[in-house]
Structure 1
């Protein structure tokens, strides 16, 4: 779940002062770095989603602790510049009038940028839902196309956390929270549910924040368990299961089905960072290394959920892992030419 905090009351321009590492006019450029330090952004950016646009830059979107969904830009996944919001007060979605915009998912479909989002009030599990917006450029402006469905319309309680994927030339949306994870086929343009499509349940009641990654012949379902939004008491962890089919069954390392709440932990907590979860898309750098962004709570500055970066490895049996099963304080920087 994606609870907005008091942090969201601050102005975005104040929140992201110092977010970019760019040099000031007239100063020599900063030397290239060999390492980065977590958090890569100290401001609250829950539930990140990213895309590499045609200009080669990465664009990141997050739950609106900055109202109207913040957008940041980077060339290396480490140095991020705040560039605006996906919506304005006048253009933001309205199907849940008092709702917040949570857990966006950015994609490039049919020559346009397509942003799926959840809209909900905290605890409004039957009135929340998933909507979609489009833009010609990754920085927007995004035009809302309205809701795809609400919880009470699709009969899935707490319909949040959308994730889009294409498989076998078909388009699918996955979503859900601690009432189950589900999937449904979308129309050819990705902007509506395919007529007569039937939803499929793929996981039990322990998970939210679906992200599915295909590697070789295997599908990996990344999700989050625990509490997201209790500050230093948050228990969020990033977990995974694996399947030979997009729709499962997904099982953990011990063979337990995720429909029965089986899971393998990828990222847990450590002395510095807790409540770590809800990952972005996996990005591969020019050295062939895989990287993952996600949010967590920094015990040293526990206001909001900060942006963390980790390298993902793959063991001899094909399971993803992060060294130490938790965020590094410092690590080698991704390689992007």
Structure 2
């Protein structure tokens, strides 16, 4: 083994020690979590893949978290395979209503759609399904899953995509389910069937930049074996001057560049007992006033093929790049 390789491995090991463990306990089974706070009720809501978008609540980020039901227990009105097995929710507060975008698809399929539902409170039983926003077929360069909404100065922007041609973004106007610009829209990251997905655009109040967080690699599902070492999920990021990109990593690579290792600066890799973190969302917690990342991960010491759990950490942007902190 070359000296330079040894040094690189030692540096990687040293950096891994610096990542704090989740501030919550690992008792809540989720995938692709998204979080929001209802100040009138004094509690947080986390939305998750499975259970037709499962809903969990807690009065603090540390928990305990309680499963309280489903967002759409009667399934989505979108007439596609998978409309009773909804994926990858993304919650926001838009025009006086809590708004969740979700994906309808089946594993490995490009016949997919993104839908949206609204609620005055986020409580189960209060959600109205507005149906399809966009869809994809095998003839498209994109896959209409993994939605992310940002309300920036140019209006609502919906990011989406996984593998295939990568992550894209289109405008919505005048409503939360009205396409305002032609598909596939602006290419933000990935392509050439790289394992790039879960794009999430976020602007911290402390920075002039917009940041595109995304998951890269393989996320083991229940019953699946773990991938080769280093091929598992991790969270990467790029930044740009606008919410529509272009986004660049710390080395100056455009996130649409096809590179190996991939374009993107590492935010959260496997470390300690946290294996394959990803499916992330980022949120300004109004209680602590801190930027917060929410994700799923698999305990390294758990049996292979087991479920993923909720992870929550704070982020520090003071260096200009997001750093996971206690």
Check whether TM > 0.5. yes
Whole-angstrom CA distance in 1 between matches of 2:218 and 2:182: 35
CA contact (8 A) 1:232 1:274 kept: no
Residue 233 of structure 1 is matched in structure 2 by 226
User: 1:276: Cα distance to partner?
Assistant: 0.4
Q: Where does residue 37 of structure 2 map in the other structure?
A: 52
Mean alpha-carbon deviation: is it higher for 98-107 or for 115-124?
Answer: 98-107
**2:75 counterpart of 1:95:** no
The residue that corresponds to 2:89 in the other structure is 104
Aligned residues: 285
Q: How does 1:60-139 map to 2 (within 5 A)?
A: 60-64=46-50, 67-79=51-63, 80-88=65-73, 90-99=74-83, 100-125=85-110, 127-139=111-123
CA distance in 1, matches of 2:181, 2:286: 39
CA distance, structure 1, for counterparts of residue 139 and residue 131 of structure 2: 15
In structure 1, C-alpha distance between the alignment counterparts of 2:22 and 2:181, rounded to whole Å: 47
1:227-249 alpha-carbon deviations (Å, 9 max, x no partner): 01255725000010010121212
Alignment RMSD? 2.4
| Corresponding residue of 1:306 | 309
Q: CA deviation at 1:145?
A: 1.5
Taking the aligned partners of 1:267 and 1:201, their CA distance within structure 2 comes to 24
Taking the aligned partners of 1:289 and 1:112, their CA distance within structure 2 comes to: 23
SS in 1 for 2:161: strand
1:186 counterpart residue number: 172
Q: Does 1:40 align with 2:25?
A: yes
2:201: which partner in 1? 212
Cα distance in 2, alignment partners of residues 198 and 94 from structure 1 = 20
Out of 227-236 and 142-151, give the one that drifted further.
227-236
CA contact (8 A) 2:76 2:131 kept: no
2:264 match: 263
The 3-state SS of whatever aligns with 1:133 is strand
Question: 1:186-241: per-residue Cα shift (whole Å, max 9, x none)?
Answer: 12221221265771111123421111111331011100000012557250000100
Call closer, same or farther: CA 1:300–1:251 in 2, change over 3 Å.
same
Provide the secondary structure at the position in 1 that maps to 2:256: helix
Structure-2 separation of matches of 1:220 and 1:301: 32
- The secondary structure found in structure 2 opposite 1:304 is coil
Task: Quote the offset at 1:319 in angstroms.
Answer: 0.7
Deviation at 1:160, TM superposition (A): 0.7
> Matches of residues 243-258 of structure 1 in structure 2 within 5 Å?
243-258=240-255
3-state SS in 2 of match to 1:282: strand
Q: CA deviation at 1:304?
A: 0.8
Partner Cα distance (2:82, 2:290) in 1: 42
In structure 2, stretches of 5+ residues that fail to align are 1-19
- TM-score when normalising by structure 1: 0.77
User: Measured at CA, do residues 86 and 251 of structure 1 come closer, stay the same or move farther in structure 2, by a change above 3 Å?
Assistant: same
Gap change, CA 1:143 and 1:72, over 3 Å in 2: same
The alpha carbon displacement at 1:163 in A equals 0.4
